[in-house]
Amino acid sequence: MEETDVQNMELLQKRISEIGIIPVIKIKDAAGAVPLAQALAHGGLPAAEITFRTACAEEAIRRITAELPDMLVGAGTVLTVEQASRAKDAGASFIVSPGLNPEVVSWCLEAGVPVLPGVCTPSDIEKALSLGLKTVKFFPAEASGGVAMLKAMSAPYGDVRFMPTGGINEKNLLAYLSFPKVVACGGSFMVSEKLVDSGDYDAVTALTEKAVSLMLGCRLAHIGVNSAGREEAAAAADFLCRAFGFGRTEGPVSVFASDLEIMHGAGRGKNGHIAVGVNSVERAMFSLGRRGVRFDASTLRLGKDGKPDFVYLEDELLGFAIHLVRND
């Protein structure tokens, strides 16, 4: 694989990882492609994998990429080099196939198009590695054994990353996304054939919003308040713990009384801070950033796994700074 191909795959992996869920779409009428893509973007998923299971797939890709240049659009169920070529010419940013066809993979690499071939066995993974790929599609995910199978199968291949597709839904989404080797999941549960055929775009947006909310897992982690100093913080914690039976936890810069953090002095924020727990700081930053939320990059902190686990928003709310923290 050429250096440019590696860079293209790395960029694709970063984008799909930020988005988290790639809607897999079977569309029968290209006229509905743009409003469907808009419904997904409005719901929080600016991405679509248009499958070559219908005659209008190529035209659907062409229309979306022309009208919505910020949308990440790929072609799915690509079985031949001819389909891959048509998808590229239509504007597809990546190619996805149900299995690993060496001819299709080789053509994509030569054409500079990122490709995610389907794998479901160790032999498939080794074929992908022999072609220079390190990111693949795990398909059909649930029918092949689900998360347990993926964990067992991927164990010997430390650098390989997966996009599980097939049977992904609201009940098992988080189980897949919580596995570190999963970059994103492909799913159709927010773009069912019935909704797409009927043009019920409001329902698509609502289901997409629900999926994004589930993926992010935003919750109030704790509230921090500033104090005049260590003595005042300790006295306040003592009172709360005696009066209400709260548990007390000492830290280097603060003391916790249950979920209330009392700073040993003036922390960030005029009055204190609000901590919001999220399943993925990376995905939360991407999603909130699309809504106009700004982050202080100087406060970004990485965890032991090299992924972001902490960052402050630029703006305060009612005198409180706000930061994201990765859920345990």
Phi-psi region of 281 (alpha: psi -120 to 50; beta: other; left: phi over 0): alpha
In 10 A of CB 171, how many CB atoms? 9
> Kind of pairing, strands 295-302 and 308-313?
antiparallel
**Token reading at 80:** 């031949």
Give the number of other Cβ atoms within 10 Å of residue 296's Cβ.
14
Distance CA 122, CA 125 (A): 5
Question: Where are the alpha helices (H) located in 131-219, listed in sequence order?
Answer: 146-154, 173-177, 193-198, 201-216
Q: Of 18, 26, 49, 282, which one is the catalytic site residue?
A: 49
Select from 128, 211, 111, 112 the least CA-distant residue to 162.
Answer: 128
The SS3 call for residue 128 is: helix
Q: Which residues contact 256 (CB under 8 A, 6 or more apart)?
A: 222, 237, 247, 248, 249, 250, 262
Burial of 291 (0-12, 13-18, 19+ CB in 10 A): exposed
Instruction: Examine the residue annotation and report whether 49 is marked as an active-site residue of this protein.
Output: yes
* Joined tokens for residue 289: 């950033």
Q: Clarify whether 194 is annotated catalytic.
A: no
Give the CA diameter of the chain. 73
Residue from 137, 181, 261, 282 carrying the catalytic annotation: 137
Instruction: Provide the angle, in degrees to the nearest 10, between the axes of the packed helices 146-154 and 122-130.
Output: 50
Contacts of 87 (CB under 8 A, 6+ apart): 52, 57, 58, 61, 75, 78, 95
The set of residues, in sequence order, having a beta carbon less than 8 Å from that of 297 and lying 6+ positions away, is 311
Looking at the annotation, which residues are catalytic? Answer: 49, 137
